[in-house]
Amino acid sequence: MARGPYAAIAAAIVAVSTASILIRWSTSDAITIAFYRLGFATLIVLPYAMIDRTTPLRRLSRRDVLLMAGIGVVLAAHFALWITSLKTAGVTVASSVVLVTSHPVMVALVSHFVLKEKVSALTGAGIALGFSGVVGIAVADYAVSTTTLAGDFAALGGGVMAGIYFLAGRRLRQRVSLPVYAFVVYGSAALTLFVLAAGTGKLVPAGDMRTELLLFGVMAIVPQLGGHTLYNWALRYVPAPLVSVSLVGEPIGSTLLAWILLHEVPRDLVAIGALLALAGIFLTAYSTARRPSQTPP
């Protein structure tokens, strides 16, 4: 058991790193991909939520259901924006995944400037590094085209939604079991995306139906459940600072996989910006995790 959580985190990082590659392989629209990924994930966790005895579905309070439904809408926005970024011409996997993972920096900025919370010198350094890296990526992609820059902003918006998702779900997860929480949140997100896909005529996958459904199923099983769910389980048993290290694992893993499988090498300025952003993400998350008033997500 001592080594189990650490092995689980390593496996989870590899699993979530495959998401961007699977999305790139799909020929469907971003909204379509997001809907089927979360829809399949909802169906998979349903049996586990039904038999869960810790917090039975029928005993959930209306308030908790509404809160989880709201979190599901935020999660839907996160995936819709991020996948849109990956589908935007000129946006590299490296820049998209780094930007969407920058939520610790975004949360720290909001906490400092909006909530007026004091930040440590280490957190301040992390914010400065992270923000400079984000600006560096944006400048590099603006030189490519304004469309590419718009894709960067979509990824950054997805990162903001991820920050809200983690913050909003932190307390709720303390009283709701993981299978039930995942079912209600994923289900709400899938329903939101269904309405959006149906309303925009993007409900039917593009390209070969069997290939697309296979990709959606793999997305639901590997990065969504085998990645995020396993990751959430493991983080209960490891020191908080390790959370900070693991946050930078997905961008690194995704970039390496894109290099190997998609032959995609980040441009020089994008690579420099990504390194700065990753350093900032790590410092911000690490310094936040060390604060005694905070608990791991």
pLDDT tens-digit readout, 29-54: 999 999 999 999 999 999 999 998 88
Q: What is the largest CA-CA distance in the chain?
A: 55
Spatial distance between the Cα atoms of 100 and 199, rounded to a whole number of angstroms = 26
Closest C-alpha to 34, from 89, 73, 91: 73
pLDDT digits (tens, 9 = 90+) for 5-25: 778 888 888 999 999 999 999
- The span from the CA of 101 to the CA of 162, in Å, is 8
**240 within 8 A of 288, measured Cβ to Cβ:** no
- Rounded average pLDDT over 138-154: 89
CA dihedral over 217, 48, 73, 109, signed as positive or negative: negative
**Beta-strand (E) ranges in the chain?**
none
Q: Are 39 and 190 in contact (CB under 8 A)?
A: yes
Residue 214: its pLDDT value, please? 97
User: pLDDT-derived band of residue 3, with 50, 70 and 90 as boundaries?
Assistant: low
Q: Write out pLDDT tens, residues 220-255.
A: 999 999 887 777 677 667 665 566 567 788 899 999
Round the average pLDDT of the chain to a whole number and report it: 86
* Packing angle of the helix pair 146-172, 178-199 (nearest 10 deg): 150
> 38 and 79 in contact (C-beta within 8 Å)?
yes
pLDDT at residue 2, as a whole number: 54
Q: What percent of the chain has pLDDT over 70?
A: 90
pTM of the model: 0.88
Is residue 123 a contact partner of residue 283, using CB atoms and an 8 Å limit?
A: yes
Q: What is the DSSP letter of 201?
A: T
Can you read off the two tokens belonging to residue 54?
């810790």
132 Cβ contact partners less than 8 Å away, ≥ 6 residues apart: 273, 276, 277, 280
Which of 257, 206, 164 shows the shortest CA–CA distance to 31?
206
Contact in structure between 86 and 180 (CB atoms under 8 Å): no
pLDDT tens column, 96-141: 999 998 888 877 777 777 667 777 888 888 888 888 888 889 888 8
